Amino acid sequence: EEIKVFCPATIANVSCGFDVLGLALDAVGDVMIVRKTAKKGIKITNIIGQDLPLATEKNVAGVAGLALLEKSDYSGGFEIEIDKRIKPGSGIGSSAASSSGAVWAMNELLGQPFSNLELVQFAMQGEKLASQVAHADNVAPAIYGGFTLVRSYNPLDIVSIPTPDELFATVIHPQIEIKTSDSRKILKTKLTLETGIRQWGNLGGLIAGLFQEDYELIGRSLEDHVVEPIRSILIPGFDDITSGAKQAGALGSGISGSGPSIFALSQGEVTAEKVAEAMHQTYKSIGIDFDIHVSKV
Ligand code: HSE
């Protein structure tokens, strides 16, 4: 018995929601085949597309799967094959796609004994392996779909947020790799009250904008005063890309996850494509290689 699943790429943080907000992309992701086996344990049989470890304990899908098996009374095991289309270190949830895809598929094959919240907890073990911190802002949208808010980590509390119909994302990936673990080390661990006020004003505004389908409010709220001023220095052409996106009609933009990808949100696919064209021209003119995607959220 086997299942083939699409494992979506995700944009974590979405500017003002560091470690709590994330969204899943409809059109960008990996494909994974998971199969039940009589032999206990998890075996990763094949990974195409990227050079990643096959050893179960070194692979995020393996580690997440082991966390699920530990809580399950199933006596057999699973084999996993991954068509890895999301580049590791690109900032669109490469590790989250693998760890959440694996546990989601296993849960289906076992007849859904676990809730989505439990699946997120298993998948977070993969994130811990990848970045040393078990953050949930990529795995939660990968499992629930759409936008999710991690209302609390302890106890884990995840809230699904509705996605307005016309919301599209444009994501550009300059061809450099930034490890999440490295880009977390450079962050400040303390905030001033003034910065906190600006940040939670925007986070509340963004959530309200999503509920009310108020695209202008969504755009106004896409600001990050905590992480972006520090991390954007690592990303070539960041200011040019974001100002060009805005001129091309984007609602707003920011760093995708821990970077280096930059995302923009737009109302409608036509605008999202115009934003892609503007981003394309910016990187072309400064001589940076890139991948670019437009996707429904
Ligand atoms: N919230 C995490 C970070 C996401 O920004 O470090 C990593 O993809």
pLDDT tens, 68-91? 999 999 999 999 999 999 999 999
CA separation for the pair 47, 244 (Å, rounded): 37
Three-state DSSP class for residue 19: coil
Atom of ligand 1 nearest to the CA of 13: 1
Contacts 24+ apart (CB under 8 A), 185-191: 186/230, 186/231, 187/226, 187/227, 187/230, 187/231, 188/230, 191/226
Residue nearest to atom 8 of ligand 1 (CA): 257
Q: How far is the CA of 134 from the centre of ligand 1 (A)?
A: 10
Residues of the chain above pLDDT 90, percent:
97
Does the Cβ of 224 fall within 6 Å of ligand 1? no
Q: Tell how far the Cα of 91 is from the centroid of ligand 1, in angstroms.
A: 8
Q: Whose CA is nearest to atom 4 of ligand 1?
A: 257
pLDDT digits (tens, 9 = 90+) for 188-220: 999 999 999 999 999 999 999 999 999 999 999
Task: Identify the CA nearest to 100 among candidates 71, 134, 60.
Answer: 60
Residue 155 has pLDDT above 90, yes or no: yes
Q: Which of 19, 99, 177, 188 to mutate to test the pocket of ligand 1 (most atoms within 8 A of CB)?
A: 19
Neighbours of 36 (CB within 10 A): 15
Cα–Cα distance for residue pair 15/29, rounded to 1 Å? 21
25 CA to centre of own chain: 8
Q: 286 in helix, strand or coil?
A: helix
Structure token digits, residue 294: 């437009």
Q: In what order do the strands lie in the sheet with 252-255?
A: 252-255, 262-267, 167-174, 290-296
Distance CA 104, CA 115 (A): 10
Q: What is the pLDDT of residue 266?
A: 98
Q: What is the pTM of this model?
A: 0.96
pLDDT tens string 96-105:
999 999 999 9
Nearest one of 52, 15, 9, 19 to 145, comparing CA atoms:
9
Catalytic residues: 127, 180
Q: Using a 6 Å cutoff on CB, does residue 137 contact ligand 1?
A: yes
